[in-house]
Structures are given as structure tokens and as C-alpha cells.
Structure 1
Amino acid sequence: MKMNWEPFIGYMVNVTMHENYGLTFDSKNDQTLYEIVFKTGKLLSAYEDGLLLETTRENHKVNIFIPHTSVKCVEMFDIKGD
């Protein structure tokens, strides 16, 4: 299924990524803790192969390109980003 992202351009989105980071925290039990990866920002544009977000980190604008293959879930907030 393809989604029409155009109505959500300019909205704040929270993207849950398919990729997780594994960190071994207890070698005795051989257990791994997985950290879920999120990307949050204003949706600037949607392309055939991914989404472009804009966010601010340490007072600098940062653009983030997320390939569709990395997107697990997207939350769209009914607010426009600055």
C-alpha cells in the first residue's frame, strides 16, 4: 500500500524505525537489551523512496532522510512544525 504524504507536509511526525540497536547489558545471563529508534521532526517532503524531516539539534537545523524500508510506524501530530 502506498500512502499519500502530501496532506501531512509541514506536520510534526514521529517515525519508529525498523532498525534497533542491541546492547549487551548482562554477560552472565547472555541477555541483550534492544533500544527502539525514533526520529521526530517536521515533514518537509515525501519522495518515492523515503521521507525528509527537519529538526533542531543544539540550535542547528538538521535534515533527516528516512528510506521507506526503515519506517516501521509513523505518528502524525495535528500541529504544524516551526
Structure 2
Amino acid sequence: MKLTLMFREYCSLCHNMREQLMPYQAEYGFELEVVDVDEDPVLEQKYDELVPVLLDGETEICHWFLDGERLKEHFTRVYGLPSSNT
């Protein structure tokens, strides 16, 4: 499993979401790719004011703030993983 975090280096919300993902990453074992949208004009235009955005492929899980319940639901629905206590 690989999730993508659309990110900006100067964005405090982005840093918060990346940090808040750590316990979920330990629990579910997913890989996290962090993509700086400012390095790609297409991504910058697409995600501009939405960052941080957490994606699984093209599926948006959440943006601005980590929605832990939605993330757990996503893992249960898409990957059949049991819900954790995280």
C-alpha cells in the first residue's frame, strides 16, 4: 500500500499531517510518498490551496487536516484491513 501526501515545505498543516500519519503508518504498514507540489506546475495548480492532501492513487482521503476515521474506513473498505485503535 502506498499513500501520497501532497505537501509544501513551508506549510505547517502539511508538517502536522505528515507527523500525525506516523502512528497510522506503523499500524497499517503503508508507504508514504511526500510530493512537494511547488516542484510541479501541474500539481501546484491542481492542489494549490488544498494542501496538504492525502491520496491513495487518485482517491482523496482528506485534505487540510488528517481525518483518522476516514483513513481507517478507507483501509477497511479498500484493503479489507481491520479497524485499529489508532
* Structures share fold, TM-score greater than 0.5: no
- TM range, smaller chain: under 0.3
* Structure (1 or 2) with the greater helix fraction: 2
Question: Scaled by the length of structure 1, what TM-score is found?
Answer: 0.27
Q: Which has the larger radius of gyration?
A: 1
